[in-house]
Structure formats: C-alpha cells, structure tokens
Chains A and B, each alone.
Chain A
Amino acid sequence: MQFGLMEELTCEVAGAENDHLLHGALSHAARRMGFDHFALAYDRWSSVQDGMLVHDYPDEWAKVYVGFDLRGADPIRRAGERSMTGFAWRRQLASLITLTQGDHQMLMVGRENGIGDGFTVPRHLPGEASGSCSFVVGPEKHLPGEMFHVAEIIGAFALARARHISGVAPPKSRPVLSERQRECVLWSARGKTASEIAIILGIREVTVIRHLKIARERYDVHCRQALILCALFDGLIGFGDIFDWRRMN
C-alpha cells in the first residue's frame, strides 16, 4: 500500500486554498497515480451558482460537453448517484445503471476526444450537495488498478475541499411539512393520483391537492416530480419507502 504517496498527494489536495490551486493539485495527483486527466464536479443543491467544476480534460471534449450540455445525460454522473464508493467505468458502469443507446454514444464520443476509461469517486452530502471526482486515461490505455484505493482517498478529500471552497452551506432551516403533507408526498412518489391518495388517507381530494400545493411552496418547486426529488434529497421520504412498497404490491 503506497502510503507515502497517498499522504503526500492528499495533503496537497486537501490544502488547496482556491479552485486554481485545487486544479494544480489534482492535475499533479492524476499524473503521479498514472492517469492522464481528471475532472471534479461539485454541485450545491440549493444554488446552482455555488457549484464548482475543475478539470483538465482535452479541450475538444470540454467544448462538446459544455456546448451540448451533456451533464444532464451523463451516464457517469448517473452511476455516481448509485454508488457510494469509487467505480471503474468499463468494468462497473453496466452493473450500476442501465446503459442506453445515448449513453453508449456519449462514451464513444468521449473516446474520440481523448477520454478512454475512467475511475470516478462520488460523494453525497444528504440534503446539501453531491459531487464526483474522476481520473481518466486516454483511449489506448488501461486504468492503473493498483491506484484505485489512493484515487478514492484523494477524490474524497478533493470533494471535501471543493465543498469548503464553495462555502459550506449555512444551516438553513429545512422546509417543515406536517405529517399529512408528508403522507401525501409519499403516496404521490408511489405513483398515486390525488383522488387515489384521498381514498387511501380517507380525506377529500381538494384537501390532498392543497397539501401537495403547500408542500411544493415550502420547497419552492413547481411540479410533482421536483417535489418528490426534493423530499427524497431532504430525507423526508426514503427510497425504501417507495420501492419496498412497490415491490410488495
């Protein structure tokens, strides 16, 4: 286990005072570990402007990615949401998410622009932010598997640093929902309509509609899907609450 190298690179990354220095530290770390490029993306959930993106991916790929706004469709990002620790793309992507035709195309375009295979370290802070730090190699090369453990640690500290540089989220008061409102949101997440929820809970449909409206206002969102996402991210309802119920029914 390469402790000396891990300690040295971790200190450099974890000590970066701003995004420019973090870029330098990660670029250095990537090369020392045997990778070709890195990319770190950190998204503050409450405010898109407070996110951070530092990378040294080939310019051509960056232009395509940003120009076509591929972030929303990025399979690596989706896989990062499913995994709690680092994963290697070629070896593990398909076991984390269902890859669509579009995903394969995006990965192919990436390869054409210098991104062959990668190892991504995801980290999630419930209710606050999520981010990932990826280390990649060019198309003709293999990932340095013996460095995955080191990359995991460096990625984790890099994301903690990004969080600090972006500004730790002020302790904002979470939206407070009544138990009834929470129940309506949960049944909505389980796929029930307002009239079905009314029957289930034994209340009037207009009451359900009002509960859901108040819930949307408290989270400052405008549609059902966004409300469900907010509630999940906030921990108001859990994946288990939704999917276990679906499985049993």
Chain B
Amino acid sequence: MLDSPTRAPAAPEHAALRAMFAARKQVFIDLLRWDLPVLEGEYEIDQFDNSDAEYLILLDRNGRHRASARLLPTDRPHILGDLYPYLCDGPVPSGPRVREITRFCLDRHQSAAERRSVRDQLVTALAEHALRHGITDYTGVAEFPWFSQIMTFGWQCAPLGRPVRENGRMLAGLHIHIDDRTIEGLKQGGVHEPMALYLAGTEDLAA
C-alpha cells in the first residue's frame, strides 16, 4: 500500500523548478564539469527541459532543494535514444510505459549522511512514482561510479550494452524494470527509505 507523499505546502509555482535548475548547475557544471551551457550564470537547462519532461523534486521544509530527477518520455527525443544509442546492444527500450531518468541530482549543500538519505528517498520515490503511474521500465545513461551504485540498489537493473570510454569518463546505458517486487527489492538492498521531505512533482507545478 503506497501512502501518498507529503506535498509541498503552497510553494510558489516556479520556485521549486528554479531551485532545481540552480542545483543542477552547481552539481553538473561546477562539480562534475560537464560541458553544458549556463543560463544567467545560475541555471542549467537544456533542450530536454520541455513540456514533455516530468520532475521529481525533494524539498526541505523551507522549500530548499535537496534532490531531484528529470523523467523523459522515450517515444520522443531523449538522451539515450538520440545521443547515446550505441550504449545499447539491441534496440533502445522505448514506449509509453518507459521513461528515461536523467539529471539525478543530489544537492551539494548537505552532509554525506544527508546526501545518502536523500539519495535513497529519491530512488524510493522513483520506484513509487512508476508503480503509481503504470511506468514499467526506466532507462538511463550513467557514469561510472554512479552506475555501479545504481546496479546494487536491489531493483531489477541490468546494463543495456557495454560501457564506453568518452572524454575520460566511462558511460553505460542501464535498464531498470519496475514491478510488484521492486519495493521489496529496494528494502533488501537497504535503499528503501520513506519520504521524510516534501516531494514536488510536475503535476503540482503545472501552470
């Protein structure tokens, strides 16, 4: 039985999104040094941040960003299918029940222990979001060592092909299957963590 997540109380419409785009700049550009454009010196936004994207954003009680992820439909242009199809041995998994997880972002302004807890809450939220909305599969492109973590969370996760070296990084395509065994698997993997923060989803932020 899934409890409905605690909704962010009357947060200003775009504040959560702004906080997320700012956190993404701090993590992906400042910290990980990905080659991405910056908007207004503060935000990381790309061509996939369009009306098709869905977001799961974890906020603390003051509305500050703690973690977030972006989900993209796979029957439209997305990262794995359009930019990294060679990471898949076979056809790129796609369809109305398949989403790509992108920009999985843990805020820099927290301790390692907090970051770990927030990571687990977001992974749990992703699984519950899938179960609630009939999403059966997630895909994603991940860098090593991140993909080495994802594969041991306890959900059904397998590589889509061989890892590839690019610009000094090792990348792999991943496939995660979500079904009625997923939550139990995450519990056994020690990653299941009930939501202790506020979850803002795209449905809350729709204009």
Interface residues of A, Cβ cutoff 8 Å to B:
1, 3, 6-7, 10-11, 14-15, 83-86, 123-126, 149, 152-153, 156-157, 159-161, 163-164, 168, 171, 235, 238-240
Q: Given the complex of chains A and B, what is the CA–CA distance between A111 and B159 in angstroms?
A: 32
- A7→B144 contact, CB < 8 A: yes
Main secondary structure of the interface of B (DSSP, over half): loop
A5 to chain B, nearest CB (A): 12
Segment touching A, from B14-22, B74-82, B179-187, B193-201: B179-187
Segment touching A, from B5-13, B61-69, B109-117, B145-153: B145-153
- A160→B177 contact, CB < 8 A: no
Q: Given the complex of chains A and B, what is the CA–CA distance between A82 and B172 in angstroms?
A: 26
Name the residue of chain B whose CB is nearest to the CB of A240: B180
Contact status of A124 and B156, CB under 8 A, knowing A152-B151, A160-B89: yes
Pick from A15, A84, A161: contact of B156, CB under 8 Å: A84
CB neighbours of A10 from chain B (8 A): 144, 163, 170
Interface residues of B, Cβ cutoff 8 Å to A:
89-91, 144-145, 148, 151-163, 165, 170, 172, 177, 179-181, 185, 188-189
Q: Given the complex of chains A and B, what is the CA–CA distance between A14 and B89 in angstroms?
A: 11
- B179→A126 contact, CB < 8 A: yes
- A7→B152 contact, CB < 8 A: no
CB neighbours of B144 from chain A (8 A): 3, 6-7, 10
Contact status of A168 and B90, CB under 8 A, knowing A125-B158, A160-B159: yes
Q: Given the complex of chains A and B, what is the CA–CA distance between A152 and B179 in angstroms?
A: 21
Q: Given the complex of chains A and B, what is the CA–CA distance between A161 and B156 in angstroms?
A: 17
CB neighbours of A235 from chain B (8 A): 179
- A123→B148 contact, CB < 8 A: no
- B90→A153 contact, CB < 8 A: no
- A84→B90 contact, CB < 8 A: no
A–B Cβ pairs within 8 angstroms, 30 of them? A3-B145, A6-B148, A7-B144, A10-B163, A11-B163, A11-B170, A14-B161, A14-B162, A15-B162, A84-B157, A84-B181, A84-B188, A85-B152, A85-B153, A85-B154, A85-B185, A85-B188, A123-B156, A123-B158, A152-B152, A153-B148, A156-B157, A157-B163, A160-B158, A160-B162, A164-B89, A164-B90, A168-B90, A235-B179, A238-B179
Pick from B156, B159, B179, B180: contact of A157, CB under 8 Å: B159
CB neighbours of A6 from chain B (8 A): 144-145, 148
Main secondary structure of the interface of A (DSSP, over half): helix
CB neighbours of A3 from chain B (8 A): 144-145
CB neighbours of A83 from chain B (8 A): 188
- B185→A84 contact, CB < 8 A: yes
CB neighbours of B189 from chain A (8 A): 84-85
B173 to chain A, nearest CB (A): 10
Contact status of A238 and B180, CB under 8 A, knowing A85-B154, A153-B151: yes
- B145→A156 contact, CB < 8 A: no
- A149→B159 contact, CB < 8 A: no
Name the residue of chain A whose CB is nearest to the CB of B136: A235
CB neighbours of A7 from chain B (8 A): 144, 170
The 6 closest A-B pairs by CB, nearest first: A168-B90, A14-B162, A240-B180, A164-B89, A160-B159, A84-B185
Contact status of A156 and B158, CB under 8 A, knowing A3-B144, A84-B185: yes
Q: Given the complex of chains A and B, what is the CA–CA distance between A3 and B163 in angstroms?
A: 14
B82 to chain A, nearest CB (A): 20
- B177→A157 contact, CB < 8 A: no
CB neighbours of B179 from chain A (8 A): 126, 235, 238
- B161→A160 contact, CB < 8 A: yes
A78 to chain B, nearest CB (A): 16
Q: Given the complex of chains A and B, what is the CA–CA distance between A124 and B156 in angstroms?
A: 7
Q: Given the complex of chains A and B, what is the CA–CA distance between A238 and B179 in angstroms?
A: 9
Q: Given the complex of chains A and B, what is the CA–CA distance between A124 and B185 in angstroms?
A: 13
